[in-house]
């Protein structure tokens, strides 16, 4: 062995081994708390999709159906997100920077959660905004900011160069979150009052705002932040928040659409892309 070879061998011996996807998959199922936090959500997302199909079977109004489809897409994203986590595809072991309570250790990061919220939270906000009767400017703004919040949250979780930069990402993401809270509280609350949907909107608003505040709190308490909670517990925390902010909110919306859908109709031609495309044929 040449001196260069032996140096190489020494170097390889000190390097942490990359875990394969299969090893991560096995690691998940060695931890029943973690595995169940994923699998239960696959089942609940599937159940919610079927419940939407069943409850929405007689809906005809295009605007009401748009809200129903929007709620369905929340669970469509969710079932895919949890399948990614269960299969070991969207989580990794990453090394925490110095200053972090688990500095230098490889810790399991469920980065797929932050990534997929980018696709699920817009549908939650679209459903809420439509129920409030909001205009598209406010709906667009809330959706753009939730995407920004989730992507910067993902960056916070994956930054390993510096602890300060991790928390700076967290601060940016929280500022974007406040924009969404403002729209829900200030704008949509008065829009809902004008639309006549205050009752349902206020219930959804409190479930959403209180539920959504839980996510940054968990991030800070979990292994990404101060590492006070184990991964399995953190994951169950997120899963419980998901149950409230996705499936419970969805079922409440669907029951409302079935019972009082006519109160929020946009008319038979709502959203049509061609004048007269949905109109009944003229009888002259």
Structure tokens at 195: 């639309």
235 lies in the site for ligand RET, by CB under 6 A: no
Please, which of residues 1-40 interact with ligand RET by CB under 6 A?
none
Q: Taking the complex as a whole, how short is the minimal distance between the CB of residue 263 and ligand RET, in angstroms? A: 26
**Number of residues forming the site for ligand RET (CB under 6 A):** 19
* Angle, vertex CA 143, rays to CA 172 and CA 225, nearest 5: 35
- In the complex with ligand RET, the residue whose CB is nearer, 212 or 256, is 212
* Site mask for ligand RET (CB under 6 A), range 137-176, x = bound: ------------x---x--x-------------x--xx--
Pairwise CA distance, residues 247 & 171, whole Å: 28
Q: Taking the complex as a whole, how short is the minimal distance between the CB of residue 182 and ligand RET, in angstroms? A: 13
Residues 6+ apart with CB under 8 A from 211: 241, 244, 245
Please, which of residues 202-231 interact with ligand RET by CB under 6 A?
212, 215-216, 219
DSSP 280: P
Pairwise CA distance, residues 7 & 14, whole Å: 11
Q: Taking the complex as a whole, how short is the minimal distance between the CB of residue 80 and ligand RET, in angstroms? A: 11
Q: Which of 120, 142, 159, 234 binds ligand RET (CB under 6 A)?
A: 120
Biggest alpha carbon distance in the chain?
96
Structure tokens at 209: 């705002």
Q: In terms of Cα–Cα distance, which of 244, 239, 211 is closest to 34?
A: 239
Where is 138: in which H helix or E strand?
Answer: helix 136-158
- In the complex with ligand RET, the residue whose CB is nearer, 215 or 236, is 215
Structure tokens at 24: 């991560």
246 lies in the site for ligand RET, by CB under 6 A: yes
Point out which residues bind ligand RET (CB under 6 A). 114, 117, 120-121, 124, 149, 153, 156, 170, 173-174, 177, 212, 215-216, 219, 242, 245-246
């Amino acid at each position: 062995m040449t001196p260069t070879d032996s140096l190489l061998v020494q170097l390889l011996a000190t390097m942490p081994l990359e875990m394969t996807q299969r090893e991560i998959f096995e690691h998940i199922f060695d931890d029943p708390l973690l595995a169940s936090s994923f699998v239960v959500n696959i089942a609940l997302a599937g159940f919610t999709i079927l419940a939407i199909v069943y409850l929405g079977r007689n809906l005809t109004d295009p605007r009401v159906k748009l809200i129903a489809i929007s709620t369905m897409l929340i669970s469509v994203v969710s079932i895919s997100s949890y399948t990614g986590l269960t299969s070991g595809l969207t989580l990794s072991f990453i090394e925490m920077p110095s200053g972090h309570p688990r500095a230098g250790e490889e810790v399991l990061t469920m980065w797929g959660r932050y990534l997929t919220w980018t696709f699920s939270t817009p549908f939650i906000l679209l459903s809420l905004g439509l129920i409030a009767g909001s205009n598209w400017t406010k709906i667009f703004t809330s959706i753009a900011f939730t995407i920004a919040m989730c992507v910067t949250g993902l960056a916070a979780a994956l930054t390993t160069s510096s602890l300060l930069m991790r928390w700076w990402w967290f601060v940016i993401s929280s500022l974007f979150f406040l924009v969404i809270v403002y729209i829900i509280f200030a704008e949509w609350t008065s829009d809902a009052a004008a639309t006549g949907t205050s009752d349902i909107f206020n219930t959804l608003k409190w479930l959403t705002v209180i539920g959504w505040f839980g996510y940054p709190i968990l991030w800070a308490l979990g292994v990404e932040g101060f590492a006070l909670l184990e991964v399995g517990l953190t994951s169950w925390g997120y899963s419980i928040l998901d149950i409230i902010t996705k499936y419970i909110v969805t079922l409440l919306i669907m029951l409302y659409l079935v019972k009082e859908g006519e109160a929020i109709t946009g008319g038979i031609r709502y959203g049509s892309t061609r004048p007269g495309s949905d109109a009944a044929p003229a009888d002259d």
